[in-house]
Structure 1
Amino acid sequence: MDRSYFSEEELLISMATGDQAAFTEIYNRYWRRLLAIAYHHTQDESAAKEIVQEVLINLWDRRAELEIRQLSQYLATAIKFSVFKAITREKRRNTIAADVFGETTSQDDEQIYARFLHDYINGIVEQLPEKCKQVFKSSRMEGKGTAQIARELNISEKTVEAHITKALKHIRFGIRNAGLFLVLLLSFFK
């Protein structure tokens, strides 16, 4: 059966049951895009290929337990997580080298962490329903007030507040789900 016509959801369902052809289609469909994202962050083709392989292998290994709503966004976020882990590993190697050989590193930990967190939150925001995402971006990213957003979108202020509350809940939930990773991440910066 040709899986090139499958939607993301159909591919995920098939892959979850162990369908290797569905996984192959996911690999073929997203490999180049994921490589571009990884390369953008690493500027190292070899490291970028390794990161993409790691993410895709992890996807296959965890296929039965993952609950993915949007595959392309999940994979892009997973690539960013893996890039960050690779940068952290490299930083630790550099720190050890500095301790042993007296060399110094140039990575600014706080900037890396802030960038990662910003990208992660933006990934969560992009998964919000369209109206909710629009309201949240107007409020938090453009600094518009509730009344102004309500006028611009022709909705009530209560609806604006409800969308902002919903968005914040999703962000908190997403960060809470990544909590273990973030705790580990923060431990590297102490």
Structure 2
Amino acid sequence: MGMKLFRADSDKQQIAAIRNGDEKAFARVYEHYWKKLLAISFQHTKDKGMAEEIVQEVFVSLWQRRNELEIQHLSSYLATAVKFATFKMLQRSRQQELIRDAVLPKDFQQLDEQAIDARFLQEYVDGIVEKLPERCKLVFQLSRDAQKSHQEIAQQLHISEKAVEANITRALKVIRINLRRVGFSLFLFLFF
């Protein structure tokens, strides 16, 4: 399978075909990406069986949810989905270890999947924020993490409130674009 089949324009064709239930297109995407995705998952799990299970789970989910997903770039979406699924699997394994070791109280033994999803997305957003220009990043962190008002941020950084607002707007725009790019537009409400 040539790489040229999976350029940006072809990405759109593959996504459209999968949305329409084209099993051959789905098989082509699977063939093209599964080894790369296995490598990503294995890098984090160090367990081939677990990595294979995770990649399988991601492809099953892609097929089952093909009509509701907003995917712009297949490679970014699939890589992020595998990292997300790997994170969840490792969290489950870790929690089972803790339960087995009787570290957690009985009422905390059910894994709260929404909390894990939120934590993953928070970590993903934090990664995006880290790459923002320094002033923009600082303003955003003071607003979101330190819960400071625009006026307090303006005073602390010796800038106008308009500049504070502009930096926060810029940060939110970059975060939204990045989340949409990897197919997480449905989760934007968790942050904004």
Shorter-chain TM-score above 0.5: yes
Deviation at 1:37, TM superposition (A): 0.6
Counterpart for residue 5 of structure 1: 5
In 2 relative to 1, CA 14–52 (structure 1 residues): closer, same or farther, beyond 3 Å? same
Deviation at 1:5, TM superposition (A): 2.8
How large is the Cα RMSD of the aligned pairs? 4.2
Q: Check whether the contact 1:34–1:75 (CA below 8 A) recurs between aligned residues.
A: yes
Counterpart for residue 50 of structure 2: 47
Normalising to structure 2: TM-score of the pair?
0.59
Q: 2:187 aligns with which of 170, 178, 187?
A: 178
Counterpart for residue 83 of structure 1: 86
Residue-by-residue CA offset, 1:11-45 (whole Å, 9 max, x unaligned)? 00011000001101110111111111101111111
Deviation at 1:60, TM superposition (A): 0.6
What is the one-letter code of the residue matched to 1:168?
L
Counterpart for residue 169 of structure 2: 165
In 2 relative to 1, CA 122–36 (structure 1 residues): closer, same or farther, beyond 3 Å? farther
Structure 1 gaps of 5+ residues are: 101-111, 126-133, 142-160, 183-190
Residue-by-residue CA offset, 1:142-166 (whole Å, 9 max, x unaligned)? xxxxxxxxxxxxxxxxxxx968734
1:96 aligns with 2:99: yes
- Percentage of identical aligned residues: 43
Q: Check whether the contact 2:136–2:167 (CA below 8 A) recurs between aligned residues.
A: no
What is the one-letter code of the residue matched to 1:178?
F
Counterpart for residue 21 of structure 2: 18
Distance 1:83 1:121 in 2: 17
Q: Check whether the contact 1:55–1:79 (CA below 8 A) recurs between aligned residues.
A: yes
Normalising to structure 1: TM-score of the pair?
0.60
In 2 relative to 1, CA 172–86 (structure 1 residues): closer, same or farther, beyond 3 Å? same
Residue-by-residue CA offset, 1:89-116 (whole Å, 9 max, x unaligned)? 112211221119xxxxxxxxxxx99x95
In 2 relative to 1, CA 92–122 (structure 1 residues): closer, same or farther, beyond 3 Å? closer
Report the number of matched residues.
148
Deviation at 1:71, TM superposition (A): 1.1
Distance 2:96 2:17 in 1: 40
Q: Check whether the contact 2:70–2:185 (CA below 8 A) recurs between aligned residues.
A: no
Structure 2 gaps of 5+ residues are: 104-115, 138-164
1:29 aligns with 2:38: no
